[in-house]
Structures are given as C-alpha cells and as structure tokens.
Chains A and B, each alone.
Chain A
Amino acid sequence: MLPKGGEVALDGRQTPREAARYRIESMTTTSPAPRPDIAGWTHFARQAEAAGIESVLISFSRYEPDPFVVACALGQAVKKLKFIIAYRSGLMQPTTFVQQMNTVSALTDGRVSFNIVAGSSSEEQRGYGDFLSHDERYERAEEFLAVCNAFWRGEGEVDFAGRHYRVEQGKIATPFVSRNGESPEIYVSGHSEPSEQLAYSQGTCWLRAAEDPAKLAPIVARARSRGVGVCLRLCLVCRPTREEAIEVADSLLPEDRKESTIILKDDSQMYREGGQTNGAHWLNRSLWTGLVPHYGPVWTTLLGSPRELADRFIEYERIGVTEFIISGWPEVDTVNVFGREVLPLIRNK
C-alpha cells in the first residue's frame, strides 16, 4: 500500500502509533496528506523494491491526490515497481479511462494495473457528480469494464450501447503496453454479491479483506474455479516474538474508544460487516480485528513473529490465495521487516 502524502518521515523515526494517527487524521482539512509527496514516495518505493514487493496499491478518495497521476510521476523515479491504481467507476468515460491507463502503461514500461471500486460512500460519490445507488453502481461498473475490455481485446472499433454507457466507433491509438503483451490486470474489490459477480465477469482478481483461512477456503475455491485470482488486504505487525507484536497492536487502539472513520463509508457492505465485528477481536491466533470497528476491514491485522507470519501466508497459499496487499505502521519499517524477515521464510517453503 502506498503511504499517504507526508506519511513517510524522511528525518527521524516514527512510532507505529504516530504512523497510524497520521493515517487516521489524513482525512482532516489540516492534514498535509492530500499533497503529493514525490520525495517520500520515492524513498518508500525504493525500499519496497529492495524488499521484493511487486506492486504498490495507490488508493483513491477525495482526500488524496489522483492515483493515475501519482503512478505516472512515481513511475519515472523508480524503474521496477508496479502500480495498482485504485479507481472508481462513474468518474469518467470508459474510453477516457482506457486512454489514460494505456498512456500511463506506455510511460512506465507496462507497470500498471488497476483496482476498480464501485464506490463505498454515496456522499463522496455525489460530490463527484455520481447519484446512483450501490447496486446500480455495480451494474454500471459491469458496463464500464465491458467497454474497457473491448478496447483492450483490440478487435477493431468499439461499439457499445448499454444502460449507462454508449460508445460508437471507439478507437484509441495508444495501446496498453505490458511486459507479457496482455491487457491490464483488473482487481475488483468488495464483499458484496455484486462485487463477486463483477470480479468473475470482468476482473482478473477478487480483492477482499483478510479473514480466517477456514472461513475463506470455500470462498477462495469458488473464485479460483471461476478462473480469477484472490488477493487479500491486510495490515502486518512483525516483531521478534508474538508478545511484542501484540504490544505494538495494542498501542494502536484509539484513546477514544468510540472513534470511527467507518461512517464515511456508509454504502459499503465490506465496511458494514467490519463495523459489526464487536466482541471477539481474534479471528485466530494471528489475525486481530481490534482496529476494524474503528477504521474498517482493511485494518485487519496479521501479527506475530516472522516464523508465525510466514506460516500464515503459506496457509493462505494452500487454500488458493494468490496475492496479498499489505500495509503497516510505519509503512517503510513494515516493508523492510517483511522483506528481511518474513519473505525469505516463505520463499524457502
């Protein structure tokens, strides 16, 4: 996960708690997070490359810079790392989206894919001029991706007449550039039934929050049998021992036990589910949801020693999970410790 603007402190160290507070407060009007931070991001990107990370996810919201432009700028500064651009449908015409995606691919030697989000907050969507309901947004996302995929199949001019989009003799000369000659990978995220269907019909990978392997196994098997990959979003706390990791996790709990940023995502099933996981905060010995009622399911945390964490990743691999998008507090320290301590153990198996 690419850090927010200004999150990467180039001078001096941050505690995990400072890093977490910075991210929580990034949605306030006084935060420097909405300003692009090429210096901090480049530093993080180089560490991520060295750690063996394949891609960074660049999130989309009205609180942040546009992820397309960020990927393009950062892609000039680093030469190996790939970028997963999160985007909402309903913000631009699919033809324009394809032209932008293709241009950024050509400017970064094919290092882009995208994560389509149907939109998790109706208030935020209305601020972008989008007034559809949750289910209608998925119906539109289906059409949106169908048009995009038609361009990427490259079988001549694109004609499409749907309920939400209409394109006549669409043509974009700039091709999608990729290292394997294929069209972009499409991550579809969400826990709702329409998001799952969208992942199958138009996506290459279904992106969900991490859960206990036993609960995920049938879901993952279903997705894999439909030919799409499964990617889990999780946060990571890695310390020499499990006890130390738990101590760090506890330090992240807000002083105000009622603090919540979930209210901002009123229209997301994933966030509604997250808000309901009160009480039992351990999904298993390593998977902790103590922060989820406050900040949502993407704060689901895998914690423990390097050995324990490596075992958990292997467990997920066994049930068919193919990818992970990880974040931590601070982002730079987490990526370093993951690359140094955890990844070698996983590769050895």
Chain B
Amino acid sequence: MSLRFHWMFPKGGEVGMKTAQETSRVATTKAGSAAALPDLEGWARFARCAEEAGIESVLLSFSRYEPDTIFVACAVGQATRKLKFIVAYRLGLMQPATFVQQINTLSGVIGGRVSLNIVAGSSMVEQRGYGDFLEHDERYARAEEFLSVCRSFWANNGAVNFTGKYCRIEQGKLFTPFLAPDRSAPEIYVSGHSEQAQHLALTQGSCYLRLIDTPENLAGIVKRFRDKGIEVCLRLCVVCRPTHEDALAAAEALLPSEEIERQERRILSASDSKTLKDALATADDVGWMNRNLWAGLVPYYGSSAITLVGSPQDLAQAFMEYKQIGVTQFIISGWPKLDEMMIFGREVVPLVREAERSL
C-alpha cells in the first residue's frame, strides 16, 4: 500500500498568512482572532490545492477557539469532490447516538469523505467550559464506552443497547446510515501518547495517531499496533528546500519572538496532556533528534511542530524509513500553509512514489 499523506487544515484567515509567526497559536487564541470565523474562500482555495498536491485528507482541529469541525467539513466538502476530511472531535460533548447521526448525515452530503480523530480532551479548563468535569483517566474510560456505542450503530445489527458507567442506551436506532462508496463506518484515528490513549486506539480505533519521533524510537511501538491490525499515522511539520542548508536556514527563520515563546510555554505547561509534556521535554533536551528531525519549534508552536527539515531527497528518504518500520500515514503541516504543501506535492511526493515503485 502507498503511503497516505494528509495535511493539517489551516485555521480561519491562515491561508493568506505568509509567516509562521503570524499563525502561532498564541495569535489564534486571542480574542478577535480571525481563527474564530470560517474562511470559506481561503479554505476552498486551500482544499483544491491539496487535491492537486496529492493530499488525501485534511485534519480539522477542534477547540473552543475555532468553528465546529463537522460543519467546516460539510461546507468545504460542498466545494470539493475528492479531498477527505478527518474531523477532530472531543468526547463528553454529546451523546454517542447524536454524534453518529451527525457524522452519518455528513457522510451522506459529502460522498462519504469523512473520518474521525477522537481526542479525549487535552485541557481540563477547556473541558469544563463544555460541561465536562472528568479527570484525564476517566475521560479515556468514557471514550472507550462512547466509541463502543458508535461502533455498534455502525455495525448496523439492529437496535443498540448499552449499559456502561458513562453511556446508557436503550433500543437505539438511527435510520440514516454511514454513506460511503467503500465503507460502512468511518476510519477512526485515536491520538495521544498516554497508555490510555494507546489502549483506546487498539480497542476502538482503526489508526493510532501520534507525534513523529525518530524511526529507532518508534519501531517498537509501531510494530505493536501493526501486529494488532491498527495503522500508525505520524503528525509532523515539514520544511523542504532545494538543499539541506537552505532548509536549515528556512527552518531557523521560523523562530519567533521571546514574547510568543513565553506565552506558548504557559499554554503548554497548563495542559494535562502527556503528548504536550513529552514534546516540550524533547525540545528542551535535545533540539535536533537526528540529522533531519528538529524539535526546536515546539516551545513556540506547540507539540505538533516537530519538523522534518531537508531537501526533497532527504525528506523522501525519511518517509521511506518510516514506511519500513510500518508507518502508513502522515498528517503534515508547514509554513506558509499553502506554499509548503505545494512544494511537498511537487517535490517530495513524486520521489516517494518512485521509491515505493522500486521496492
């Protein structure tokens, strides 16, 4: 199977932004940020470019700072024909039956181009604003029940009955099915670095989504998932330039001001997510994880900013190394949002496909 490349969908207003500094999370969580509003024009342009670049899906992130992902997928899905949408959603926000009804309806209006990224919730403060007061571990226990109910609906074997600690359903029936040419249920990406997240991915997911690390560090984990029939998808950023040196210079130019660093560090250290803590520790400890993998941007742009830096050949080779250890998918971002994706589609994807053909 060919490697599957997905891209991180830009926030509202980001398509027009040219520098990483502008798009840092600090700016997008401020009151009055353009990220709070949909940007259909920019998004439609980005989505069409993604289709051209050979990107399979875009990941839509969920937070209280952004429009609801289900409807962004619905609206942008009307403007595209091929691109798929990985809709991130937190649990604890609605009943599983309601969630299934919304996702099934969405599948029906965009030709089945939807999959899910389930996030148990990464910030206590934010979850409480949604009326969710469970602790980290309990959120995962609930997620287990939630997805189990969802999967019963998708299995479509008559009325759904479930009695758990967090979810209870009696004679649940939904008449609108998940509608896709090739599937009767969405792919489910489960993300997180904690034990509970990994367990959830193994029991209820179709793919484990985690931050990129060196192939040596990941090999064991990836094997464990692949042995159980679960795919592994890595989240990373790329900076690709004609030579390794050019790429290094471009990467370093992304470093922002000290003020942004201070604020971002405050956001990161307030979180109870293990993913964020791990990433920050890596950035503080080593910086360069190998010749091409750089954690230097994490303190400024968040945990998903671990960046693969290099020439098209460097990057293609790196992707092939991940393929060799069993990774099947990637969710990528870069700066500027649009340009880096076009470079990737033009320069890197063809090299990867060529290498795959000669395997």
Q: B-contacting residues of A (Cβ < 8 Å)?
A: 27, 29, 31, 33-36, 38, 62-66, 68-70, 72-73, 76-77, 90-96, 99-100, 102-104, 106-107, 123, 126-131, 157-158, 165-175
Report chain B residues within 8 Å CB of A126.
169-171
Among A62, A170, A174, the residue within 8 A (CB) of B130 is: A170
Complex alpha-carbon distance, A73 and B66, angstroms:
19
Interface size class of B (residues with CB under 8 A): 35 or more
Q: A-contacting residues of B (Cβ < 8 Å)?
A: 29, 31, 33, 35-38, 40, 64-68, 70-72, 74-75, 78-79, 92-98, 101-102, 104-106, 108-109, 125, 128-133, 159-160, 167-177, 179
Contacting pair A35 B176 (CB below 8 A): yes
Report chain B residues within 8 Å CB of A157.
129
Closest to B169 in A: A129
Contacting pair B74 A69 (CB below 8 A): yes
Contacting pair B37 A38 (CB below 8 A): no
Contacting pair B75 A72 (CB below 8 A): yes
- Which of B29, B64, B168 is the most central at the interface, judged by chain A CB atoms within 10 Å of its CB? B64
Among A29, A72, A129, A165, the residue within 8 A (CB) of B167 is: A129
Contacting pair A107 B130 (CB below 8 A): no
Complex alpha-carbon distance, A126 and B176, angstroms:
18
Report chain A residues within 8 Å CB of B79.
76
What is the CB-to-nearest-CB distance from B61 to chain A, in angstroms, rounded to a whole number? 13
Q: Would A96 and B97 be within 8 Å (CB), given that A62-B175, A64-B175, A127-B173 are in contact?
A: no
What is the CB-to-nearest-CB distance from A177 to chain B, in angstroms, rounded to a whole number? 8
What is the CB-to-nearest-CB distance from B32 to chain A, in angstroms, rounded to a whole number? 9
Report chain A residues within 8 Å CB of B168.
129, 131
Contacting pair B71 A72 (CB below 8 A): yes
What is the CB-to-nearest-CB distance from A99 to chain B, in angstroms, rounded to a whole number? 5
Known: A34-B176, A92-B93. 19 other contacts (CB 8 A): A38-B109, A62-B97, A62-B173, A63-B175, A68-B71, A72-B74, A73-B74, A77-B78, A92-B94, A96-B130, A100-B68, A126-B171, A127-B97, A128-B169, A129-B169, A131-B170, A173-B29, A173-B35, A174-B38
What are 30 A-B pairs at a CB distance below 8 A?
Answer: A27-B175, A35-B177, A62-B173, A62-B174, A66-B106, A66-B176, A68-B102, A69-B71, A72-B74, A73-B74, A73-B75, A77-B78, A92-B94, A93-B94, A95-B64, A95-B129, A96-B68, A96-B130, A100-B70, A127-B159, A127-B170, A127-B172, A128-B97, A129-B95, A129-B96, A129-B169, A130-B95, A170-B128, A174-B37, A174-B68
Contacting pair B74 A65 (CB below 8 A): no
Contacting pair A172 B101 (CB below 8 A): no
Q: Would A167 and B68 be within 8 Å (CB), given that A65-B104, A69-B109, A92-B95 are in contact?
A: no
Complex alpha-carbon distance, A290 and B153, angstroms:
38
Contacting pair A93 B159 (CB below 8 A): no
Report chain A residues within 8 Å CB of B35.
173
Q: Would A169 and B128 be within 8 Å (CB), given that A34-B176, A103-B67, A129-B95 are in contact?
A: yes
Among B92, B128, B172, B179, the residue within 8 A (CB) of A35 is: B179
Complex alpha-carbon distance, A168 and B128, angstroms:
5
